Amino acid sequence: QVQLVQSGAEVKKPGASVKVSCKASGYSFTTYDINWVRQVTGQGLEWMGWMNPNSGNTGYAQKFQGRVTITRNTSINTAYMELSSLRSEDTAVYYCARFHSGSGRGNWFDTWGQGTLVTVSS
């Protein structure tokens, strides 16, 4: 079945970087964009950016421009999200999600990873 499996929880100090992985299985990895969404504990969902695994093209939310980088390794069907210059406010669960194109009806996140908790603390 279609599945996204993320790497484990991380604890980082302020100013450091974190790189979270998202391994896809059950479908052709290069066919669907991968997006990243984060959720601060007890709060809502915040979109961070997207990547086309086929071309490597990316796009980022303005809030994270300059701090976030999304990459991929197509040989192992894995996407990565790296966030730099971490601060305490970046403590959150980070999700990858497969982006399904609806051919004119919009798009939607039809499959999500299980989430990765990133804790930023001195």
Partner 1 sequence: DIQLTQSPSSLSASVGDRVTITCRASQSISSSLNWYQQKPGKAPNLLIYAASNLQSGVPSRFSGSGSGTDFTLTISSLQPEDYATYYCQQSYSTPQTFGQGTKLEIK
Helices then strands (H, E): number in the chain? 0, 11
Comparing C-alpha atoms, which of 62, 70, 66, 81 is closest to residue 6?
81
Residue number with CB closer to partner 1 (78 or 111): 111
Residue number with CB closer to partner 1 (65 or 85): 65
Q: Looking at this protein, which amino acid is placed at residue 69?
A: T
- Give the interface with partner 1 as residue ranges (CB under 8 A): 35, 44-47, 59, 61-62, 95, 100, 102, 105-110, 112-115
Determine phi and psi for 63, rounding to 5 degrees. -60, -30
Residue number with CB closer to partner 1 (6 or 77): 6
- Nearest approach in angstroms of CB 62 to partner 1 is 7
- Nearest approach in angstroms of CB 102 to partner 1 is 6
- Nearest approach in angstroms of CB 120 to partner 1 is 20
Contact 46, 38 (CB under 8 A): yes
Residue number with CB closer to partner 1 (36 or 80): 36
Comparing C-alpha atoms, which of 19, 22, 46, 18 is closest to residue 34?
22
- Nearest approach in angstroms of CB 67 to partner 1 is 15
